[in-house]
C-alpha cells in the first residue's frame, strides 16, 4: 500500500483534496430536508458516535439500517430497535452509507463496503483520514462527502435531545450525482450538525487539523497536568487539591470556554493582575524555539504520512502501544485515585465509596 504525502492525496478524478479559498459556513436554513426523502441511510458502525447518529437520524424521520459485525454493539443496535445487518449487506441496502468505523479499521472493511456502494448513492465519512492518505478508493459513480462532527460521540446525542447543537466540518469531495451538496446538508441537518453550523473543510485539511491539534496541543496540556501533579505532591500539596485546582473545579474548563466566547487574548482581562503577570513571565521564559521545532516536526510527520504509517504498523503488530495506554488508563495511578477521592467527597456520580 502506498502512503502519499497528505497534500498529494486526491479524490476520484484527481481533484486535490483542498479547502476552498473562501470556505462557507452552513446553517439549518441552507439545508433542504426533502433531499433525503425516500432514502435509507446505512450507519456503518454502532459505537458512541454511530449510535448517536443513528438515533438522531431516526428522530428526524430518516430511514436507518445499521451495519455492524455480530457483537455487543450489534446487540445494542437491535435493543434500540434498529434493523441490523452485516456491514456489506447494510451498505447495499442504503442510498447513503455513513461510515463511522475507526480510522484504522475502515481500509480493511472497505473491501466489503466499496463494491456495494450504489451508483448515484453517497458515501459519507465522519473523518477525512482515509481519504487524505489514499487508504480507500471509492467508486467514481458514488458521491463522496465529509461530515465530521466536532463533538464527543455521546454528546452528539445528548445535545440533539436537549435541542442544542454542535459544530461540524462538511465538504463534497466528489459529486457524481450532481446532488451531493443537497444530500450532504440534509444529512448534516438530520443529525443536528447545522444547529450551530458546519464549516466547509476538505477531508485533507480535516485530517491534518484533527491529528495536529491532538498531538501538538493535547499532549502539551496533558504533560503540564502530569508534571504539575508530580511536583505539587512532592512539595506536600494534597493530591486532591491539585486535581481540583487543575480541572475538577471546572475553573479551567470555564477559562477555555471563555476563549471561544471572548477571544484567546481578550479573555485574559477576566483574570487578576497576579495571574496575568505570572502567566506572562512564565510564557516568555519557556524555550519557545524548541517548542516551535517540536510543533513543526509533529505537523511535518502528519502531512508526510509518517504518523499514518506508524499507526498502521501499530495495528498490524497487535496494538502494543495501545496496550500500554490501556494499562495507564486503568485508574490505579495516584492522580486517578485522587480524583476518585474528590468525587467521593463531593458525592458525585461515579465516586468510589
326 lies in some domain? yes
Domain enclosing residue 342, as ranges:
206-249+286-346
Q: If you average pLDDT over every residue of the chain, what do you get?
A: 91
Rounded Cα distance, 4 and 220, in Å: 28
At 19 the pLDDT is 67
Average pLDDT over residues 286-315: 94
Rounded Cα distance, 352 and 343, in Å: 8
In terms of Cβ atoms closer than 10 Å to its own Cβ (0-12, 13-18, 19+), residue 189 is buried
Rounded Cα distance, 191 and 56, in Å: 5
Rounded Cα distance, 267 and 288, in Å: 23
Query: In CATH, what number is assigned to the domain containing residue 136?
Result: 3.40.50.720
Quote the cell numbers at residue 61: 424521520
Question: Which residue, of 201, 236, 268, is where some domain finishes?
Answer: 201
275 lies in some domain? no
Average pLDDT over residues 136-152: 96
Same domain as 192, residue 98: yes
336 lies in some domain? yes
78 lies in some domain? yes
Same domain as 196, residue 210: no
Rounded Cα distance, 75 and 51, in Å: 12
At 22 the pLDDT is 73
274 lies in some domain? no
261 lies in some domain? no
Rounded Cα distance, 350 and 340, in Å: 8
Same domain as 128, residue 149: yes
pLDDT-based confidence at 346, cuts 50/70/90? Answer: confident
62 lies in some domain? yes
At 335 the pLDDT is 95
Same domain as 237, residue 156: no
At 20 the pLDDT is 67
CA dihedral 184, 186, 187, 189 (to 10 degrees): 120
Average pLDDT over residues 217-239: 96
Same domain as 191, residue 223: no
At 18 the pLDDT is 62
Question: Which residue, of 168, 201, 234, is where some domain finishes?
Answer: 201
Average pLDDT over residues 314-321: 93
127 lies in some domain? yes
pLDDT digits 0-9 by tens, 77-115: 999 999 999 999 999 999 999 999 999 999 999 999 999
Q: Is the pLDDT of residue 239 over 50?
A: yes
End-to-end CA distance of the chain: 51
Same domain as 311, residue 182: no
pLDDT-based confidence at 5, cuts 50/70/90? Answer: very low
Which of 214-223, 274-283, 340-349 is least confident?
340-349
Q: Is the pLDDT of residue 1 over 60?
A: no
Q: Cell 439500517, residue?
A: 65
Same domain as 211, residue 183: no
pLDDT-based confidence at 251, cuts 50/70/90? Answer: very high
> pTM to 2 decimals?
0.86
> Higher-confidence residue: 280 or 7?
280
Contact 184, 147 (CB under 8 A): yes
Same domain as 225, residue 121: no
pLDDT-based confidence at 4, cuts 50/70/90? Answer: very low
Same domain as 228, residue 322: yes
Same domain as 128, residue 161: yes
Contact 30, 136 (CB under 8 A): no
Look at the chain and report how many structural domains it folds into: 2
Distances (CA, A) of 32 to 56, 143, 178, 323: 17, 18, 15, 45
Contact 87, 67 (CB under 8 A): yes
Question: Which residue, of 171, 186, 201, is where some domain finishes?
Answer: 201
pLDDT digits 0-9 by tens, 18-76: 666 677 999 999 999 999 999 999 999 999 999 999 999 999 999 999 999 999 999 99
pLDDT-based confidence at 349, cuts 50/70/90? Answer: low
pLDDT digits 0-9 by tens, 174-224: 999 999 999 999 999 999 999 999 999 999 999 999 999 999 999 999 999
At 321 the pLDDT is 96
Write down the number of H helices and E strands in the chain: 16, 9
Same domain as 106, residue 87: yes
Contact 327, 336 (CB under 8 A): no
Instruction: Compute φ and ψ for 339, nearest 5 degrees.
Output: -60, -45
Same domain as 217, residue 189: no
Quote the cell numbers at residue 152: 464527543
Amino acid at each position: 500500500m502506498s502512503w502519499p504525502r497528505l497534500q498529494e492525496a486526491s479524490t476520484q478524478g484527481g481533484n486535490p483534496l483542498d479547502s476552498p479559498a473562501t470556505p462557507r459556513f452552513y446553517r439549518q436554513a441552507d439545508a433542504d430536508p426533502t433531499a433525503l426523502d425516500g432514502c435509507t441511510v446505512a450507519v456503518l458502525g454502532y459505537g458512541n458516535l454511530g449510535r448517536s447518529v443513528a438515533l438522531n437520524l431516526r428522530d428526524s424521520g430518516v430511514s436507518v439500517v445499521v451495519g455492524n459485525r455480530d457483537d455487543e454493539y450489534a446487540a445494542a443496535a437491535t435493543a434500540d430497535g434498529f434493523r441490523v445487518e452485516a456491514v456489506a449487506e447494510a451498505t447495499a441496502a442504503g442510498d447513503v452509507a455513513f461510515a463511522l468505523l475507526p480510522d484504522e479499521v475502515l481500509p480493511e472493511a472497505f473491501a466489503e463496503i466499496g463494491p456495494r456502494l450504489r451508483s448515484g448513492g453517497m458515501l459519507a465519512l465522519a473523518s477525512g483520514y482515509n481519504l487524505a492518505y489514499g487508504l480507500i478508493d471509492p467508486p467514481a459513480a458514488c458521491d463522496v462527502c465529509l461530515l465530521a462532527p466536532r463533538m464527543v460521540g455521546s454528546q452528539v446525542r445528548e445535545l440533539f435531545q436537549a435541542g442544542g447543537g454542535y459544530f461540524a466540518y462538511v465538504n463534497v469531495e466528489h459529486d457524481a450525482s450532481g446532488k451531493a451538496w443537497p444530500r450532504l446538508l440534509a444529512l448534516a441537518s438530520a443529525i443536528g450538525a447545522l444547529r450551530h453550523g458546519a464549516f466547509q473543510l476538505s477531508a485533507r485539511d480535516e485530517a491534518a487539523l484533527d491529528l495536529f491539534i491532538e498531538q501538538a496541543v493535547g499532549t502539551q496540556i496533558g504533560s503540564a497536568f502530569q508534571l504539575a501533579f508530580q511536583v505539587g505532591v512532592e512539595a506536600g500539596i494534597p493530591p486532591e487539591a491539585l486535581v481540583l485546582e487543575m480541572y475538577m473545579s471546572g475553573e479551567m474548563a470555564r477559562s477555555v470556554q471563555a476563549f471561544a466566547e471572548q477571544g484567546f487574548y481578550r479573555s485574559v482581562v477576566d483574570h487578576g493582575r497576579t495571574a496575568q503577570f505570572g502567566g506572562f513571565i512564565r510564557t516568555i521564559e519557556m524555550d519557545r524555539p524548541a517548542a516551535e521545532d517540536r510543533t513543526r516536526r509533529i505537523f511535518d510527520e502528519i502531512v508526510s504520512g509518517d504518523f499514518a504509517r506508524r499507526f498502521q504498523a501499530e495495528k498490524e503488530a497487535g496494538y502494543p502501544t495501545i496496550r500500554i495506554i490501556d494499562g495507564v488508563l486503568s485508574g490505579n495511578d495516584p492522580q486517578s485515585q485522587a480524583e476518585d477521592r474528590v468525587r467521593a467527597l463531593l458525592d458525585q456520580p461515579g465516586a468510589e465509596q
